[in-house]
Amino acid sequence: MATSNWPGYYAELAVYDFFTAFTDVQFEISVPATETLAKHTGANRKETSFDGCLTAIENLTFQVKALKDITKELIDNIRSAVLSEAKAEHIVANYPSDIDYKRIEDNFELLVKTLKDAISRKDTPTELKDQLPEISFRIFYERQKILTSEHFYLPYCHAQEWETFVLKHFDQLYDAKNNLIVYVSHPWFNGLHIPFMGRINFLRAFCRRVFCKLSKETRPISSLMPNQWPNANIQVSEIVKRIGAILFLFDDNVEPIAPGKLLSPVHPMTAYLYLNPNSQCANSSNRVFDRLINEMHPGMLSVIEGFEFDNY
């Protein structure tokens, strides 16, 4: 955890704590890449690693990812890259927090260059009108006591913009077995998905888009994510069918727990489980995830959603 990539390690720690509260876990396992979707990436890989395996629950493997506010992280990185070379006191960005982060990622270098050029001309407002009209920057050359910025956020818009997010690591899914993806959020790397910002609305809308919409997407992943997976030759629907469920863990361990609040055995984590109604292993999936849910202590899951009557 002593690295700049601490959210990833922190997320794994939280997940190990969550699962070991009720079942046996093998931390980190590797399998031949031929048993996973890595074989469709076009790269010659020998092994695929999983973050863990629930040995008492039919060896259900899981992958852990930090659910970060990637947009904010990218904007912070742009700001650091500019201020490390150009002389200004502050760069303030106004942007919608529910934007598709890939658009910022794709224009990262252009944004850095545009801001550096603006500073060399001593400009104050700056934007990329053609590529990213939603984002604007203000540059300050003298120290300010107070800085303000504007952001917009709609959970349903965020779910729409992020619907392919789950495909980012498709190569880490088993081919012929159930897969569980676990996303971990913490206030220090994700200030977006807090309850009063429509957390549950986002989670449900995001999962429904993945499970119910993308399960009908017949285009190859290379056409949806050409920058990341230019040579991958698998249909998006085939990837989505291999996801059995997505578990979200929100680790709110920064603030004190309100007195008298009923605590789960892994407080201060809040867990939300969404099951894929279109999983390829629908029958065994139900069995595995029924076992997973039954093994958990009461109070560990805040939401269980299977989309049975909402799968269209």
Partner 1 sequence: MKPNAAFNHFVNSVFGIDTLALDETKDNANKIIGAINHSYKDGKFGEFTINLKKRLWRLSDVIKSNPCNRKVLTE
Positive or negative, the Cα torsion across 240, 242, 245, 251? negative
Question: Measured from the CB of residue 90, what is the shortest distance to partner 1 in angstroms?
Answer: 21
The smaller minimum CB distance to partner 1, of residues 96 and 268, is found at 268
The smaller minimum CB distance to partner 1, of residues 13 and 197, is found at 13
Tokens coding 8? 């990833």
The smaller minimum CB distance to partner 1, of residues 80 and 311, is found at 80
Site for partner 1 in 246-305 (CB under 8 A): 253-256, 268
| Coil vs helix vs strand at 29 | strand
Tokens coding 263? 């605590």
Contact stretch for partner 1 (CB under 8 A) within 21-29, 143-151, 156-164, 175-183: 21-29
Question: Measured from the CB of residue 130, what is the shortest distance to partner 1 in angstroms?
Answer: 36
Q: Is 133 in the site for partner 1 (CB under 8 A)?
A: no
| Distances 188 to 68, 154, 184 between C-alpha atoms, Å | 9, 21, 12
Q: Is 3 in the site for partner 1 (CB under 8 A)?
A: yes
**CA nearest neighbour of 40 among 265, 238, 215:** 238
The smaller minimum CB distance to partner 1, of residues 28 and 290, is found at 28
State the binding string over 24-63 for partner 1 (x if CB under 8 A, else -): -xxxx-----------------------------------
The residues near 45 (Cβ < 8 Å, ≥ 6 apart) are: 33, 38, 171
Burial class, 239, CB count within 10 angstroms (exposed 0-12 / middle 13-18 / buried 19+)? buried
- Report the interface residues with partner 1, using CB under 8 A: 1-4, 6, 10, 13-14, 16-17, 20-21, 25-28, 188-189, 253-256, 268
